[in-house]
Structure 1
Amino acid sequence: MSMPAFRSLVPHAGPMALLDRVLEADEESLCAEVAIRADSLFYAEGGVGSWVGIEYMAQAVAAHAGYLARQRGEAVKPGFLLGSRRYHHQSLVRAGRRAARAGAAGAARRERAGGF
């Protein structure tokens, strides 16, 4: 099954749309991917600071909400990240590597609202 383009699922535009593509999606989750390159937003000193991972996670959650909205025939709407119970990271995600897949669980599984 063909997945919709990431940019069609989020209200983000231009360089602020950070994820590259949607790998899979269903009613409960979405898995997206980002490749770290020298032209990636927030790139510095050979990679992207791991603190950007929280934005990758938030954009995967937004893409999941957009995916569900499109399934219902509704427009994609902006949302807001209110917080995270826990976020573990390394200091730098190096260029040339694909960052860990960002998965977003839907409202039915709020206890796992996002994983990275």
Structure 2
Amino acid sequence: MVTKPKYYLDRRGHDLFWEFEHGKYPVVLAIGFCYLNIEKYLRRAGRKTADPSEDLRKAMTYFQEYKKLLELRSMGQLHDQGLYLALSYDNFKDREKVYLARLERLEKQIKAGEAKFL
């Protein structure tokens, strides 16, 4: 059973997995994201709650996406365009301002009950 809650969907009905599969992010980052989430849920299983079932389902969900991304990458359907920017400290101060302003704006909107999510 796959765990994909609807609250992860954006306004167009897309979740991160859809965005990963359609090249919105460099594939190596998407693969790493899935890999690390598999590890997180495997380590957490049976520790956060007595029943490890939900964490194991989540680990399986990320494993299935991990496998799909590896396959798409091996077929040349996904790319690592933008990886340099994501991993570079060059111009980080400008990006930091944008990220922090976005977080602050979203926090204010949530508190005011006006949040418009992605």
Give the TM-score taking structure 2 as reference length: 0.27
Larger strand share, 1 or 2: 1
Structure whose CA Rg is larger: 2
Structure (1/2) with the larger helix percentage: 2
* TM-score, normalisation: structure 1: 0.27
